[in-house]
Amino acid sequence: MHFWFNDEHEMLRNVVREFSEKEIRPKIRELDEKEEFDREILDKMAEMGFLGVCIPARYGGAGMDYIALGIVSEMLEWGDTAFRETISVHVALNSLAILQWGTEEQKQRWLVPQARGEKIACFGLTEPDAGSDVRNMRSRAVRKGDVYILNGEKMWITLADVADHFLVFAKTDPEAGHRGISAFLLERGMKGLKTGTIHGKMGARASNTGFIVMEDVEVPVENRLGEEGEGFKIAMSALDNGRYTVAAGATGVIRACLEESIAYAKQRVAFGRPIAEYQLVQQMIANMQQRLDIATLLTYRAGWMKNQGLRNTRETSLAKWYATEAAFASANEAIQIHGAYGYSNEYNVERYLRNAKGAVIYEGTSQIHTLLQAQYALGYRVDKPLRCELPPYDAEEWSREA
């Protein structure tokens, strides 16, 4: 395992940082205040290849590795959380799930246009009464001949109201608990499929977050992802990918808080000296640097494991848990360093704190990850091989065109 990025990774980091500096940061304050989703920025992300960054070229992607996925997530969130969320949902939760579990026909139909950015995809797992408690989902899928009839509602779904494709989960056997959940690929325009936008969020306000309603939606059997009853495994394996991008994004928040706090502390004068010279300010700066280094190591260790084709559920959980808590703590200290100015939206750190709070809740609350890590340590939880593992990265194979 190498603890450094190669030249391709460093170049990608610079490209995404420049993109965030040019395309996101000049607009984000207005987008955040108005709670507006900017489709133009999304289209530019597609043009840059971000929406298929770690998808093999034969499926329309950029053919880069999972470390590259982390870098794109980190540096987009350095710009703003809303745009990292797009990568988490469109790429990590949806597209990688199709790459891992889909048939060749499904990959051609769904994955190729998503990797090219021609279609936007979302992931529908959470429900009004079922967040961390996935087993309690109420969505139902009843098979009738060659179709399933889906009914149910999904809530807090990123990109719900702008997506073209939907990966949703429903119970095909309500009596079987989590073993009775199946996964389905839907597309906008299906009769009975409705979406809407949720307003009034604390953070990530430039991201589209909404709900999905399914009322007797007829879904062909060939749209089922994986086998009947494999939905829980598919969802959990997808979350390994989503949590990785959340951890990487949180690392970007820490980086942004550190950079802006250093710049402000050096130019802000109090009692005749730059506040950077005061030890308690230095302590907060040191805290952020420590968190950045730890979050970076934990996150990209998980990315390295993905590249090797190794199961990384525990490592990704740990990275997500640590990095998101560290991002929230760093944003809080960044506001403290900025003083009264940090409490207003004149500086970015106010937005960082609001955005960072969401990440300790979605894709597994900090409390859920605490329990997971304890169960791993105690030996109560052991990961078993899946029928379909996420494919390891192969530079030659992934760069080959169709």
Average pLDDT over residues 49-56: 98
What percent of the chain is predicted at pLDDT more than 70?
99
Residue length, the chain? 402
Model confidence over 366-388: pLDDT tens digits?
Answer: 999 999 999 999 999 999 999 99
Average pLDDT over residues 20-28: 98
Domain co-membership, 158 together with 69: no
Q: Which CATH number does the domain housing residue 181 bear?
A: 2.40.110.10
Domain co-membership, 126 together with 115: no
What are the residues whose beta carbons fall under 8 Å from the beta carbon of 28, sequence distance 6 or more? Answer: 79, 80, 82, 206, 351
On the CB side of 186, how many CA atoms lie within 13 Å of its CA? 35
Task: Quote the CA–CA distance of 338 and 347 in Å, as a whole number.
Answer: 8
On the CB side of 342, how many CA atoms lie within 13 Å of its CA? 20
Domain co-membership, 245 together with 371: yes
Domain co-membership, 31 together with 50: yes
Last residue of one domain, picked from the residues 203, 229, 255? 229
pLDDT at 136: 87
Exposure pattern of 186-223 as b/e (b: 16+ CB <10 Å)?
Answer: bbeeeeebebeeeeeeebbbbbbbbbbbbeebebeeeb
On the CB side of 54, how many CA atoms lie within 13 Å of its CA? 32
Residue 154 has pLDDT above 80, yes or no: yes
Residue 60 has pLDDT above 80, yes or no: yes
pLDDT at 132: 83
Locate tokens 């960072």: which residue? 356
- Closest alpha carbon to 256 in 318, 319, 338: 338
pLDDT at 263: 98
Q: Which CATH number does the domain housing residue 298 bear?
A: 1.20.140.10
Question: In the beta sheet, which residues pair with residue 170?
Answer: 182
pLDDT at 1: 62
User: Do 344 and 391 touch, CB atoms closer than 8 A?
Assistant: no
Domain co-membership, 29 together with 77: yes
In a domain, 397, yes or no: no
In a domain, 395, yes or no: no
In a domain, 200, yes or no: yes
Strands (E), 305-380: none
Domain co-membership, 251 together with 282: yes
pLDDT at 133: 85
Task: Quote the CA–CA distance of 101 and 172 in Å, as a whole number.
Answer: 18
Residue 181, helix vs strand vs coil:
strand
Model confidence over 289-348: pLDDT tens digits?
Answer: 999 999 999 999 999 999 999 999 999 999 999 999 999 999 999 999 999 999 999 999
In a domain, 396, yes or no: no
On the CB side of 332, how many CA atoms lie within 13 Å of its CA? 8
User: How many domains, in total, are found in the chain?
Assistant: 3
Locate tokens 């607009």: which residue? 27
Question: In the beta sheet, which residues pair with residue 196?
Answer: 211
Question: In the beta sheet, which residues pair with residue 158?
Answer: 209
- Closest alpha carbon to 92 in 362, 337, 356: 362
Domain co-membership, 365 together with 288: yes
Question: In the beta sheet, which residues pair with residue 150?
Answer: 141, 217
Domain co-membership, 202 together with 62: no
Range of the domain at 200: 122-229
pLDDT at 135: 83
In this prediction, residue 175 has a pLDDT band, given cuts at 50, 70 and 90, of very high
Task: Quote the CA–CA distance of 13 and 74 in Å, as a whole number.
Answer: 9
Domain co-membership, 187 together with 135: yes
Lowest average pLDDT, out of 48-62, 89-103, 125-139, goes to 125-139
> Would you please indicate which residues are annotated as catalytic (active-site) residues?
363
In a domain, 329, yes or no: yes
In this structure, what token pair is assigned to residue 61?
């992607």
Last residue of one domain, picked from the residues 229, 255, 287? 229
pLDDT at 365: 96
Task: Quote the CA–CA distance of 235 and 66 in Å, as a whole number.
Answer: 19
Angle between helices 25-34 and 349-359 (to 10 degrees): 70
In a domain, 181, yes or no: yes
In this structure, what token pair is assigned to residue 35?
């709670």
Average pLDDT over residues 53-75: 98
pLDDT at 37: 96
> pTM for the complete prediction?
0.97
Last residue of one domain, picked from the residues 174, 195, 229? 229
Instruction: Round the average pLDDT of the chain to a whole number and report it.
Output: 97
Domain co-membership, 249 together with 115: no
In this prediction, residue 2 has a pLDDT band, given cuts at 50, 70 and 90, of low
Task: Quote the CA–CA distance of 95 and 265 in Å, as a whole number.
Answer: 42
Domain co-membership, 163 together with 238: no
Average pLDDT over residues 34-45: 97
- Closest alpha carbon to 312 in 299, 326, 327, 296: 299
In a domain, 23, yes or no: yes
In a domain, 390, yes or no: no
What are the residues whose beta carbons fall under 8 Å from the beta carbon of 112, sequence distance 6 or more? Answer: 59, 60
Domain co-membership, 368 together with 256: yes
Question: In the beta sheet, which residues pair with residue 144?
Answer: 147
In this structure, what token pair is assigned to residue 329?
């703590």
- Closest alpha carbon to 303 in 236, 234, 246: 246
Model confidence over 100-147: pLDDT tens digits?
Answer: 999 999 999 999 999 999 999 999 999 999 888 888 899 999 999 999
Average pLDDT over residues 272-291: 98
